[in-house]
Structure 1
């Protein structure tokens, strides 16, 4: 990914600070969606120059964010992320299991909650592997070991002991562990064993507290090792764990709490300080809303004090912190200035320039408001009305919930549809289970939904036919699409939904999925058998459908023009194939009508026997156990009939395997080695085939095709739905706008396909059901499992994120605040639904920032309108969507680089929130959006309201207030210097 000018300038400014002497700390506070992680990766490259190795330690608040962003840092090593060995995932485990090293980089990725023992309050016994290391470390202290064993036995009382097994202390040193023990147990000189035993004799500690304390010992010892100690620490979304850098003052006199606070400081000093302190790069779009571990804000009222505290940490200088605080107060006073407009402006400008001078060496922030004065979204606010059936559901729920939950009933009912059927896991569920069933229940798959918002949402995301689409249409169609993808049929596209209640995503997913499948299955009814399963005499034809033939697919380069019909595309493909066969000295005559896959196999064998041997080996593995012909026995073919040519050209144009083969060539994915072809065929046969075999797809595809057999109808749909254009676009997103190269593109394609549905609990009457959810699915909430008699492994949120960022299922993702910060959902989604309004403007921006990002669907649609036609006229064999990207990049960039790739020239994404008749929701939303405008303009101001009031006094509206607002962008410093 090429850096935009604003990103390049941010990299330069930050690198200068992090390379220099001094605190070597910097904050990149760019607005949501502006590529802070890419900036961080480039900064790491700058810092590594001239060094043998750079240890990069990346910390973020959740495994979901880690899973998304780790590959961006792993790409520094030059190692395939799918093959990369990340090493131990806890600090204590790292010395014995170091991450793989490459290109002078070693990358560690952690979440502080799991990897910094003692940081989160309360006992934490860690993983078994950590406790095994503790057991081994105690061997040097027999008396302490004996005491620990006794306490462990007493706690276990015949059960599993915490310290039963030994581990391998490889990578640690005895001296390093002892030094860490002395620091943790506060024993500078006397016998550390006696000091630890004395501590263990206290009444306020137990074996669990000891294990937590010794986990801190191992983490501290690990951080002090040269192989582990970071050279660059990247703290991503750090505002969610800000007490890592701004520890809470422990005011309690309780010794245990005082000790935990001291150990916290020890770990932070080892991580961020020391004689050879690392460079520290902070990333956060909302760094002025710093939160403690429990979610409480560090400064709940005066948010600007968080900025002052942050400046103190970045400068590592109390005097600089005091200067920033003084400048903040001066700026606040300037906002209150009275007098003439010129006097007010002069006072504000002087105060803001002083504050900028203090903050710019510490941080940089780029905002879209620098170049874009309008709202980033088209806002839809449909009005919903309560109907009689809705009130029946509410009345039953309120009565069943009882007096204990009476105050919560309206809020829960408005957000969670059919609560008596969907609120598993809530405390109120105990009452709901014992109550009589609701007089109106969902689950039949028929009739109107009894929830105001859900009725409108069902219209918004489309009928079952829309949700049954196996893939979204391409941004640039190569020809006139037909069938379910026809432009004459409005397609709703993908939807990202945010709610505040965790029960809403599972309820919405279940209810819309029930409608998709036409109602709940009967008790003990088996799921319908998927299609495209191998077996019987048709297995050879099925394998041929998904086989990426090495030569024949390249005989055809589909015709491309927005107005071209499929009839024209098919005729042109046949002409190209006939010319190719003649060039290969394969005669076209006769009247034979052999199976198309046998004809393709025979010609491939005639063209190149060596590559055909690889094909036959792949086919042999796929057809093992089936009653199918042996591919290695198929004869060469050097003569075909016109009828066979017609069937073969249709096969090469429309079969998934042949489409994939052409796309691999366009994107330079190697296919020279047998291993390369094996991995590609594995994607086609083991991932794409099962996905396309869903019965729901079959109902839709066969209803719009004259072909009776599903494989034939599917091939027909490949053309009608522009599957080759879709695949080309997705491969471009993974490579040219992402970091994937070569076979990694194929691996990421495979990761974007959900082969099996998740399961969500749903109650109807007295019976519990599990609803399969795949087209509409909850994200990181509710019960979602895959395979296995007991539910199998959980459907990981990272898998869902990858799938949603593909053109395939799910078409709708429902989430809570867990998907609100740090995650990307923008590649194929341009609509966000606020099922419940967020708590404040910051949350509003975080939600909408999930899809208003670099190269988003809305941006690509805008580029397609400008460059779509010339991109389709690209050089034969090139990637049309890659050509579109190249055309867009060849246009002279704007000053910042924001306009082209972050701000669509036309066709903004859509933001939907619901207006309930006779409610205050519309007024609250409007106030919040106004606050959001002020938030963007006045971010970091000591008093946003005073800032806006000042703008009005001087006659400047909000769009012109940028001159008087604090501007910390790196790109503006270039303009100032040149001016």
Structure 2
């Protein structure tokens, strides 16, 4: 996605360039609030710095992009506007020397064309800087192997060294060959340079150990030690060569140890990377929460030290860089702090003066823009949930089991079941895999008969109930609350029948499923928990309920219906064959229907008109009007008719005829066939076919087939394509795809939509039959809801995480994404979600903002829905036109935050305000629990904590400020403002 730069973002980028160029600071912190597009500001900074270096006749512009994990890197790297980029898997420091040399080889050609060569290198601390992490990746080792084996010292032992470094991976020789080719491209001077550096850095001891282990063998630890030493050596060589012009550190608070002085490998490399002697290297830190912005008295260390304040000073020390500048800042900041804490304030002027001085100092190294959130958050769903008998029983059964096991085996002391576990998940033993508690219970059960004598109905799911689609109780008040929110207490809601999020701006009115109030306000749900068991539980249980309401419904009339786990004969799979009529982008039919011509009309009326137009087309075609009418349900024949309408001449016309259902089918194809809708967008046959294949793959899934069969009373499989076409028509598929295209900022959806349609995943869980036994666990399908919890960093996990992110940011399923802190920072989940569930409350108000910032972002679902409601009228508009209307009417003196991030609700009429949809904050609380107090505390602190920026013992300071009873205007005057746009406006 390529978002246009907004005025407040441009002002910030220009301020950062001014700090670099005119103020002489090389280190700047961009601390814009969550969701305001720091990556796009960084892109503009890169562009401005690049132009500056071009004016100085720089011969090679290098940017290093460092972020906290590979998922964020994969999401953001393309947004930064530099095409020549390494893949994440090849971005290890130990491999950079090759990339740098290859880029330099391209310099001459680009300079001849008048361009300054440029390159961007992504690094992730969890993979790039940690050299104690086992043996690296195969690509690293293959490159190291290539270079070492070309040295005289190792040439006679190439096979042994290669085998040693392969670590037994498949396709090792292919990797060796690929890097052999790259090394040859770099030329002999590259190898000579690297070998010369290795002679200095590679000790005789390490080289001899490598040869000894390669020839005689070694254990895992010895192999890892040698490989890690080699990785570090090659990384040092790379960093020596790198010398970037700009380093962008994204969400750097996740790896702020890089800013510390230390003796370990990570600190040593980082210190070298940020060496002040490299005067040309500018550093841009990106983080909405660069340090812990708030701490409670309980969070102070036992010796009274405030980690928040220490974090703040640590970041300031890094930004000001020199001791003189740091001392100057600390003196001004201490004066501000002392003035702020006076309790006898009568005249605010001295406090304002001290604040202005502190603000000026901060503004020399830091920028921050904040949105106004008035009216965007709806917290009506922060409420107590019913305590179910199962809530109490699950605690009692689990504690009794643990007590019994402890009594039977004195060496096994299981203690008490953690109450937070019980509050977080029903059927606890089915979902707490990878937890020590379960490991201990399973181990104890294997040596005990306790399982025979203890009821565990609330602790484990039943395999029989699952496979026979029997009702399964929610098992906890929290899960029942979430179930009722999505499906209804009595199944009155229809979320289980949706295959995509209904269009925010539907083009016509269609009776039924997509015309209900539920459909018009439907949203995906992002759920956060403190415990990894919760995403597993949520994904399994909600997906099971969806199947229970579809497959379970079908089984009421036919007990033979099964969603078999076998790949063959799976229910309803691949009913729509490849190259079917739904995949054909018929230009003739695409031109017959235009949404603009029928905007706001009833679908039944539109169908009548389109049917008449198609009938006229058939009548005007010499071949088609001569064909007999007979039979029905021949999709192949209807496809032939479509091709004839587009001017193709059939080879054999003897078997052609007009099926009796042809006009109805062609009408729905013209309005809502996936291929035709996509062709109307792009005008490109190939892209339209790719989009159609992706959408058809949705309908070829068993869970989708079950939905269609329930809705259309399970007609014959030959009728399936007709039911699918009707579903696409009543579901306003054209409007759905157009909205998605608007967010992608392209009319070519093929690649994105293909990546966004993900397959059903499986999670293994224990049931009553499998716990403590070797019996195979129950495989549970996750499709309606899926987890986002993979912390591993491999090519496969990064690709899976990317697909999950793209799927949740597409209109299709999954509808619920449940995650832990891994999904809390830096990732976008806002395109189709305006509901966020805090299953467990975070400890800090900033964490709450970080979570909600995942869906409170640029053109988020709530904003799009509201813009459509406010500016849709009797005339058809594109999404660009709708936002242009909102911009013209609402922006006024605001920045471009309006209308793309926020709407000034006070400017709207009361009738308009009633229409608005909001981001829903959902917090299920158990009655009388401490979570109620915790929530109120989080919300109260949110209102004031920004005034306590960088202050020690903040909780005491907040109490002082509350007791001063300052007006809103006074609070505003005392709040530090680091927004470049605001300062430009006041000049």
TM-score, normalised on structure 1? Answer: 0.81
Equivalent residue in structure 1 for 2:479, among 427, 444, 454:
454
CA contact (8 A) 1:779 1:819 kept: yes
Alignment match, 1:212 = 228
Q: By how many angstroms is 1:840 displaced?
A: 1.5
Q: Hey, what does 2:323 align to over in structure 1?
A: 318
2:379 corresponds to 1:363: no
CA contact (8 A) 2:19 2:364 kept: yes
Q: Deviations over 1:950-971 (max 9, x none)?
A: 5445541467512102211111
Measured against aligned partners, the alpha-carbon deviations of 1:551-590 in whole angstroms (never above 9, x if no partner) come to 3312221366775211112123234445666888888687
Inter-CA distance 917–362: structure 2 relative to 1 (3 Å threshold): same
Query: What CA distance in whole angstroms lies between the structure 2 residues aligned with 1:138 and 1:775?
Result: 50
Deviation at 1:329, TM superposition (A): 0.9
Residues in 2 aligned to 1:864 and 1:478: alpha-carbon distance in whole angstroms: 11
Aligned equivalents of 2:421, 2:64: Cα separation in 1: 42
Q: Are residues 1:771 and 2:774 paired? A: no
Local SS of the residue matching 1:109: strand
Note if contact 2:500-2:811 (Cα within 8 Å) is conserved in structure 1. Answer: yes
SS of corresponding position for 2:97:
coil
Task: State how 1:542-553 maps to structure 2 within 5 Å.
Answer: 543-553=580-590
Give the corresponding residue for 2:640. 601
Q: Deviation at 1:856? A: 0.5
Do structure 1's residue 58 and structure 2's residue 65 form an aligned pair?
A: yes
Identify if the C-alpha distance between structure 1 residues 819 and 959 changes in structure 2 by more than 3 Å, giving closer, same or farther: farther
Q: Is the 8 A contact 2:528 2:851 kept in 1?
A: yes
Q: Give the Cα separation in 1 of the matches to 2:517 and 2:437.
A: 47
Q: What is the deviation of 1:96?
A: 3.1
Q: Is the 8 A contact 1:24 1:278 kept in 2?
A: yes
> In structure 1, what is the Cα distance between the partners aligned to 2:941 and 2:803?
35
Asked if residue 469 in structure 1 is aligned to residue 498 in structure 2, the reply is yes
Equivalent pair of 1:461/1:493 in contact (CA under 8 Å): no
Equivalence for 2:356: 353
1:506 corresponds to 2:536: yes
Match of 2:240 among 214, 218, 224: 224
Spell out, residue by residue over 1:606-645, the C-alpha distance to the aligned partner (whole angstroms, 9 max, x if none).
Answer: 6444xx8xxxxxxxxxxxxxxxxxx7656999x9899855
Q: Which residue does the alignment assign to 1:18?
A: 20
The Cα of 1:831 is off from its aligned counterpart by: 0.6
Separation in 2 of the partners of 1:664 and 1:200? Answer: 59
Gaps of 5+ in 1: 186-191, 249-257, 613-630, 666-670, 672-676, 736-740, 787-791, 875-879
Structure 2 Cα separation of the partners of residues 805 and 55 of structure 1: 31
More helix by share: 2
Question: Offset of 1:245 from its aligned partner?
Answer: 1.9
Give 1:808's match in structure 2, choosing from 805, 812, 834.
Answer: 812
- What RMSD over aligned residues (CA atoms) do the two structures have, in Å? 4.3
Displacement of 1:115 in angstroms is 1.7
Q: Does 1:531 align with 2:560?
A: no
Mapped to 1, the partners of 2:779 and 2:78 lie a distance apart of: 34
Q: 1:297 to 1:557 in 2, by over 3 A?
A: farther
Tell me, which stretches of 5 or more residues in structure 2 are unaligned? 213-220, 407-412, 553-560, 906-915
Q: Does 1:128 align with 2:138?
A: yes
Cα distance, 1:705–1:488 mapped onto 2, change above 3 Å: farther
Determine the structure 1 residue equivalent to 2:881. Answer: 883
Q: How many angstroms does 1:282 deviate by?
A: 0.8
Distance 1:396 1:210, change over 3 A: same
> Which position in structure 2 is the counterpart of 1:417?
426
Distance 1:578 1:427, change over 3 A: same
Name the structure 2 match of 1:682: 690
Q: Which residue of 2 aligns with 1:557?
A: 594
Specify the SS of the correspondent of 2:237: helix
Q: 1:171-212, CA deviations, whole angstroms, 9 ceiling, x for partnerless residues? A: 584565467558868xxxxxx6479879999xxx96644432
Match of 1:439 in 2: 457
Preserved contact between residue 142 and residue 176 of structure 2 (Cα < 8 Å):
yes
Partners of 1:758 and 1:772 within 8 A in 2: yes
Aligned partners of 1:608, 1:524: CA distance in 2, in Å?
Answer: 44
Contact kept, 8 Å, 1:707 with 1:713, in 2: the verdict is no
- Indicate the residue corresponding to 2:729 in structure 1: 719
Confirm or deny: 8 A CA contact 2:259 2:270 kept in the other structure. Answer: no
Provide Cα deviations, 1:148-183, integer angstroms capped at 9, x if missing partner.
9999999999999x9998974565845654675588
Query: Once the 2 structures are TM-superposed, how far is the Cα of residue 828 of structure 1 from its aligned partner?
Result: 0.4
Q: Distance in 1 between the 2:607 and 2:572 partners? A: 27
CA distance in structure 2 between the aligned counterparts of 1:700 and 1:795, rounded to whole angstroms: 29
Determine the structure 1 residue equivalent to 2:392: 391
| Secondary structure, counterpart of 1:382 in structure 2 | strand
Query: Which residue of 706, 709, 734 maps to 1:699?
Result: 706
Residue 418 of structure 1: how far off its partner (Å): 0.8
Partner Cα separation in structure 2 for residue 229 and residue 632 of structure 1: 66
Partner of residue 571 from structure 1, selected from 568, 591, 608: 608
Work out the CA distance in 2 between the residues paired with 1:375 and 1:644: 48
Match among 926, 931, 942 for residue 936 of structure 2: 926
Structure 1 residue 364 displacement after superposition: 0.2
Matches of 1:390 and 1:782 in 2, distance apart?
A: 30
Residue 45 (structure 2) aligned to one of 43, 46, 65: 43
Contact kept in structure 2, 1:759 and 1:771, CA below 8 Å: yes
Q: 1:400 matched to which residue of 2?
A: 401
Change beyond 3 A, Cα 1:642–1:492: closer
Q: 1:113 aligns with which of 84, 109, 126?
A: 126
Structure 2: distance between partners of 1:603 and 1:820: 49
Q: 1:896 Cα deviation (Å)?
A: 2.1
- Secondary structure, aligned partner of 1:531: coil
Q: CA deviation at 1:264?
A: 3.2
How far did residue 776 of structure 1 move? Answer: 0.8
Report if the CA contact (8 A) 1:239-1:290 is conserved. no
Residue 734 of structure 1 corresponds to 744
- Cα-to-partner distance string for 1:323-371 (whole Å, 9 max, x where unaligned): 22112211111112344532xx112111111111111121101112xx4
Distance 1:165 1:812, change over 3 A: closer
Question: Bigger CA drift: 694-703 or 861-870?
Answer: 694-703
The secondary structure found in structure 2 opposite 1:108 is strand
Tell me the number of residue pairs that the alignment of Structure 1 and Structure 2 aligns.
Answer: 885
Any residues of structure 2 matched to 1:141-152 within 5 Å, and which?
Answer: none
Q: State the alpha-carbon separation in 2 of the partners of residues 593 and 483 from structure 1.
A: 31
Deviation at 1:97, TM superposition (A): 4.6
CA distance in 1, matches of 2:700, 2:869: 34
Q: Distance in 2 between matches of 1:221 and 1:759?
A: 43
TM-score with structure 2 length normalisation?
0.80
Which residue does 1:484 correspond to in 2? 513
Give the superposition deviation at 1:459: 0.8
Change (3 A) 1:916 1:560: farther
Task: Find the aligned partners of 2:18 and 2:820 in 1 and give their Cα distance.
Answer: 39
d(CA) in 2 for partners of 1:147, 1:715: 65
Which residue of the partner structure matches residue 655 of structure 1? Answer: 673
C-alpha contact 1:360 1:968 (8 A) present in aligned 2: yes
Equivalent residue for 1:674? none
Contact 1:545 1:597 in 2 (8 A): no
Specify the alignment match of 2:547 in structure 1. 517
Task: Please point out which of 836, 845, 852 is paired with 1:848.
Answer: 852
**Where do residues 937-948 of structure 1 align in structure 2 (5 Å cutoff)?**
937-942=947-952, 944-945=954-955, 947-948=957-958
Q: Which residue of 1 aligns with 2:558?
A: none
User: Structure 1: how far apart are the matches of 2:740 and 2:713?
Assistant: 29
